[in-house]
Amino acid sequence: MSDKAILKIGDKEVELPIIRGTLGDPAIDITRLRDLTGHVAYDPSLANTAICKSAITFVDGERGILRYRGIPIDQFIEKPNFVEVAWLLIFGRLPTKEELSRFSAKLTENELLHEGLRLQYQHMPVDAPPMAILSAMLNNLACFHQQLLWVGDEESLEAAAARLISKVRTIAAFAYRRSQGLPFIYPDPHLRYCANFLHMMFSLPYKQYIVSPEVEDALNLLFILHADHEQNCSTMTVRTVGSARANLFASCAAGVCALWGPLHGGANVEVMDMLERIHAGGLTPEECIRMAKDKTNPFRLYGFGHRIYKNYDPRARILKDTCEKVFAQLKVQDPLLDIARKLEELALSDPYFIERRLYPNVDFYSGILLRAIGIPKNMFTVCFAIGRLPGWIAQWREQHEDPTSRIVRPRQVYIGPVEAKYVPMSERTAAT
């Protein structure tokens, strides 16, 4: 295996080192490319660029593999415990029983919002997008927990992580309650993580929501499957903001904004819109496939395709199986699951999708499971964010503790005017 690449520009040759991780693609180290050649590399969506060395998550897109700290995700299915996986991602190993109960106790301690934060909901429009509220309130935590604006040791990191991971549920549930004109239900310190979130979402005064074990397991698993995914768009955003030494609350709030996009976490809402349109008779699965292939049509088959997975997204496979299991356990049916299966069958047998290696991704079935749990569509991407938060914290921490990390500041290929003159207003025309 070669340990260097030779780059020839004109009659000049330079050697660039090749670095290898424990798994995955080897990388050509171009950190000295400009010094050595006077050239920069061009890779606008960073599809061919490693922006860091990371030990958190490994994705093999060709083989459909996803591992958290080396553990394949299907090993979390049996007894899904989202808090345990959050700890694993952030602290690098599975917690002991004592560590897990201590971290769970910290989450309980931090489940309430400061009353000043809660009162801000009164001024929110009832139809405010929950993702807008989520990013605003996560950033707002910096106002009420200023002692955690600086995170520089394990203790303060754990304190900040506990506040974020615990309060994100309360923030999300309060956004939903506000939108429904319902009284806020405070967190119950006797409930486990997911049960408490569903309690805050669905309990009514004097009518406690009791979560079934099947639903609690399904939500734990759904959050686990969303917990991290190496250097995706929102994680890259968190790292970029964090690279300027911005605080953890601001960095995660920025991650929420990136995740909101329909090409990223917002796709789970787009998938549900698509399935509902088909179910309502406004569209057929065949028309969906045809529109998705039509380059003159902006329509995409949401929930399909992935920058890294050129095989079935392992999360989609688990979510599809979980939908079927939970439906059987709850003795419910959802015609949207049949429609999703039909769309998948049509796409996976269509040359357009086969040639481009487009498969279902994490967003294709997640909405159907959330809907079965009773989560409304406008909260789907918020649930993605709740799941992804530990991953963002873990990646932010890894970057903060990397002594070689520097502020993210890419170069560009400039295509603007070479030089222009300032034209006084009196001499300006539309053409100048």
Instruction: Point out which span in 8-16, 167-175, 297-305, 410-418 binds ligand SDX (CB under 6 A).
Output: 297-305
Instruction: Give the full edge-to-edge strand order of the sheet including 65-68.
Output: 57-60, 65-68, 71-72
For ligand SDX, the closer of residues 129 and 261 by Cβ is 261
Among 67, 277, 307, 341, binds ligand SDX (CB under 6 A): 307
Q: How far is the CB of 375 from ligand SDX (least distance, A)?
A: 18
Residue 236, interface with ligand SDX (CB under 6 A)?
no
Which single residue brings its beta carbon nearest to ligand SDX?
305
Residue 363, interface with ligand SDX (CB under 6 A)?
yes
Residue 368, interface with ligand SDX (CB under 6 A)?
no
Residue 290, interface with ligand SDX (CB under 6 A)?
no
Among 163, 229, 239, 320, binds ligand SDX (CB under 6 A): 229
Q: How far is the CB of 180 from ligand SDX (least distance, A)?
A: 28
Residue 362, interface with ligand SDX (CB under 6 A)?
yes
Q: Beta strand pairing status for 57-60 and 65-68?
A: antiparallel
Instruction: Point out which span in 23-31, 83-91, 137-145, 295-303 binds ligand SDX (CB under 6 A).
Output: 295-303
Q: Beta strand pairing status for 27-28 and 57-60?
A: unpaired
For the annotated catalytic residues, the residue numbers are: 306, 363
Residue 285, interface with ligand SDX (CB under 6 A)?
no
Residue 204, interface with ligand SDX (CB under 6 A)?
no
Among 64, 95, 305, 387, binds ligand SDX (CB under 6 A): 305
Considering CB under 6 A, how many residues would be counted as binding ligand SDX? Answer: 21
Q: How far is the CB of 342 from ligand SDX (least distance, A)?
A: 16
Instruction: Point out which span in 30-38, 169-177, 202-210, 258-266 binds ligand SDX (CB under 6 A).
Output: 258-266
Residue 356, interface with ligand SDX (CB under 6 A)?
yes
Q: How far is the CB of 233 from ligand SDX (least distance, A)?
A: 6
Q: How far is the CB of 285 from ligand SDX (least distance, A)?
A: 14
Among 170, 179, 361, 381, binds ligand SDX (CB under 6 A): 361
Instruction: Point out which span in 82-90, 125-133, 148-156, 305-313 binds ligand SDX (CB under 6 A).
Output: 305-313
Among 306, 320, 371, 397, binds ligand SDX (CB under 6 A): 306
Instruction: Point out which span in 16-24, 161-169, 216-224, 304-312 binds ligand SDX (CB under 6 A).
Output: 304-312
Over the chain, what HEC string results?
A: CCCEEEEEECCEEEEEEEECCCCCCCEECCCCHHHHHCCCCCCCCCCCCCCCCCCCEEEECCCCEEEECCEEHHHHCCCCCHHHHHHHHHHCCCCCHHHHHHHHHHHHHCCCCCHHHHHHHHHCCCCCCHHHHHHHHHHHHHHHCHHHCCCCCHHHHHHHHHHHHHHHHHHHHHHHHHHHCCCCCCCCCCCCHHHHHHHHHHCECCECCCCCHHHHHHHHHHHHHCCCCCCCHHHHHHHHHHHCCCCHHHHHHHHHHHHCCCCCCCHHHHHHHHHHHHHCCCCCHHHHHHHHHCCCCCCCCCCECCCCCCCCCHHHHHHHHHHHHHHHHHCCCCHHHHHHHHHHHHHHCCHHHHHCCCCECHHHHHHHHHHHHCCCHHHHHHHHHHHHHHHHHHHHHHHHCCCCCCCCCCCCCCCCCCCCCCCCHHHCCCCC
Residue 267, interface with ligand SDX (CB under 6 A)?
yes
For ligand SDX, the closer of residues 318 and 362 by Cβ is 362
Q: How far from 425 is each of 286, 417, 428, 430, 432, CA to CA, in Å?
A: 57, 20, 5, 11, 10
Residues of the shown chain interacting with ligand SDX in the complex, contacts defined by CB under 6 A:
229, 232, 263-265, 267, 292, 300-308, 356, 358, 361-363
